[in-house]
Amino acid sequence: ASRTLAKAPRATPSRAKMLFFSFFKTLVGKEVAVELKNDVVLRGQLHSVDQYLNVKLTDLQVEDAERFPQLSAVKNCFIRGSAIRYVQIPKEEVDLELLQDAARKENSSK
């Protein structure tokens, strides 16, 4: 039996990504922790985010500096969105009602 290869994802960001993009833009200037898929956790100030959810962090701190000593001198970094597992944000920075409303609107437009 022959198989058809799936096409690569489109280069344009999806509508769901745009929802997260809009949310993360409101966090620029705030302290966040970014957990990468390779288990590195970086904490710093969110400097910028783009529509592909790539982020730039400043005032960087590595959570497990003993395990990742090569990162101890890094103070600013660019992180590709596809390398990010989680973004931890301060609870007080989340407008839960606004986020739920935006998610409902996104879901109802499908």
Residue 10 belongs to a domain: no
Q: Give percent of the chain above pLDDT 90.
A: 52
Residue 4 belongs to a domain: no
Tell me the pTM. 0.77
Residue 54 belongs to a domain: yes
Residue 5 belongs to a domain: no
Residue 58 tokens, joined: 């400043």
Using 50, 70 and 90 to split pLDDT, how confident is the model at 107? Answer: confident
For residue 58, the cross-strand partners are: 45
Cβ–Cβ < 8 Å for 15, 106: yes
Residue 9 belongs to a domain: no
The closest of 90, 72, 87, 110 to 37, measured between CA atoms, is 87
Residue 74 belongs to a domain: yes
Q: Is 84 exposed, middle or buried (0-12, 13-18, 19+ CB in 10 A)?
A: middle
Q: How many domains does the chain have?
A: 1
Expressed as residue numbers, the domain containing 27 is 15-108
23: CATH: 2.30.30.100
Query: Does the pLDDT at position 8 exceed 50?
Result: no
Residue 7 belongs to a domain: no
Residue 73 belongs to a domain: yes
